[in-house]
Amino acid sequence: MKFGIVTFPGSNCDYDSYHAVADVLGLPAVYLWHKSTDLEGVDVVVLPGGFSYGDYLRAGAIARFSPIMKEVAAHARAGGPVLGICNGFQIACEAGLLPGALLRNEKLQFVSDRVYMRVENADTMFTSRCETGDVLRIPVAHGDGRFTADEETLDRLEGEGRVIFRYVNADGVPDATSNPNGAMRDIAGIISAEGNVLGLMPHPERAMEELVGSADGRRIFESLLARVSA
């Protein structure tokens, strides 16, 4: 299974995603340049974290017009997996691959921390190696992570099992301090209706090795591996 990691001007977690896939998991990976229109036959597209176009105007707003995004959208329409992490989640929302928007953190500060997120639905290609209710410890680092959508959209997401990760405390329940950004309904990650585009604010690619604090992020990559190669 081959991963393609998109580099937008201002992406800065492309390198970390590449490391996670290629060095830690030993899988084939390529960087995809934003001006390119060729996905080079990759199976999974990663929209990495960072500050594409400086996040000027709104996070992800300008990146969504990059030439590569047409191909990414086509790949998604054809059922190909797309993993949007942090800025990648923001880009996916701006591009209409996922519903909702990510707004300025409620406390108005950038938040860099390690949070807990609970797996809300283990029956997806991104979470098959988890159990529903599992709590993963994953770093966050963002200024605009407050997931926002209208009530109807939120209800639909919940009803269809598309809220995949929710911020919780170490014991697996939401509390006053477990949500780092004020996201509605403590939403940390959601999936598309077809189940092939996942967007999340926490950084699983930064949680691949105990040495740097956590290896819980592997479960997401390994789930993909299990499903896609099956």
Partner 1 sequence: MSRFRVAVHIVPRKGILDPQGKAVSDALHSLGFDGVTDTRIGRHIVLHIAAPDAKAADAQVREMCGKLLANPVTEDFEIATVEAA
Partner 2 sequence: MTSAPTPRPGDPVITPALVAEHGLTEDEYGGLVALLGRTPTFTELGIVSALWNEHCSYKHSRTHLKTLPTKAPYVLQGPGENAGVITIGDGLAIAFKIESHNHPSAVEPYQGAATGVGGILRDVFTMGARPIALLNSLRFGSLDSPRVRHLFAGVVKGIGDYGNCVGIPTVGGEIVFDPAYEGNPLVNAMCVGLLHETDLIRAAAEGVGNAIMAVGARTGRDGIHGASFASEDLSAASEAKRPMVQVGDPFTEKLLLEASLELIASGHIVAIQDMGAAGLTSSSAEMAARGDVGVSIDTSKVPVREEGMSPYEILLSESQERMLVVAKKGQEAQVRAILEKWDLSAAVIGEVIAEPVYRVTEGDRVVAEFPGSKLVSDCPIYNPPAKEDPGVAELRARDVHAIGELREESDPRWTLERLLSSPTIASKRWAYRQYDSTVRTSTVLRPGDGDAAVIRIRNTDRAIALKTDCNGRYVSLDPRVGTQLAVAEAARNVACAGARPMAITNCLNFGNPKRPEVYFQFTQAVLGMGEACLALGTPVTGGNVSFYNENPRGAVHPTPVVGMVGLIDSQKHITRSGFTTEGDDIVLLGEPSDELGGSEYLARIHDVVAGAPPRCDLPREKATIDALLDAIRAGAIRSAHDCSDGGLAVALAECCVADVDGTIGAEIELSKWSALPLRALLFGEAQARIIVSTPESATVLDLARKHGVPARVIGRVRGRAEGFTIRVGERVIRTPLDRLARAYHDAIPNIMNASIAELAVLEQHPQPSGA
Q: Residue 84: what are its φ and ψ, rounded to 5°?
A: -105, 115
Q: Are 121 and 164 in contact (CB under 8 A)?
A: yes
Q: How far is CA 4 from the centre of its chain?
A: 14
H-only helix segments in the chain: 14-18, 67-77, 87-94, 151-159, 218-229
Binding track over 82-121 against partner 1, x by CB under 8 A: -----------xx----xxx-xxxxxx-------------
> Tokens 């490391």 correspond to what residue?
19
- Output 36 or 148, the one with its CB closest to partner 1: 148
C-beta of 21: minimal distance to partner 1 in Å?
29
Which residue from 28, 37, 40, 65 is in contact with partner 1, where contact means CB under 8 A?
A: 65
Q: Assess 36 for contact with partner 1 (CB under 8 A).
A: no
Strand, helix or coil at 31?
strand
- Annotated catalytic sites, by residue? 86, 203, 205
Is 7:34 a contact under the CB 8 Å cutoff? yes
Cβ(82)–Cβ(39) below 8 Å: no
- Which stretches of the chain bind partner 2, using CB under 8 A? 9-10, 12-13, 15-16, 19-20, 23, 49-51, 53-56, 59-60, 86-87, 89-90, 102, 104, 108-113, 139, 141-145, 170, 201, 203, 205-206, 208-209, 211-213
R_g of the chain, CA atoms, integer Å: 16
Q: Which residue in the set 148, 158, 169, 215 belongs to the binding site for partner 1 (CB under 8 A)?
A: 148
> Taking CB within 5 to 8 Å according to partner kind, which of partner 1, partner 2, none is near residue 161?
none
Residues found near partner 1 in the complex (CB under 8 A): 53-54, 56-58, 61-62, 65, 93-94, 99-101, 103-108, 146, 148-149, 182
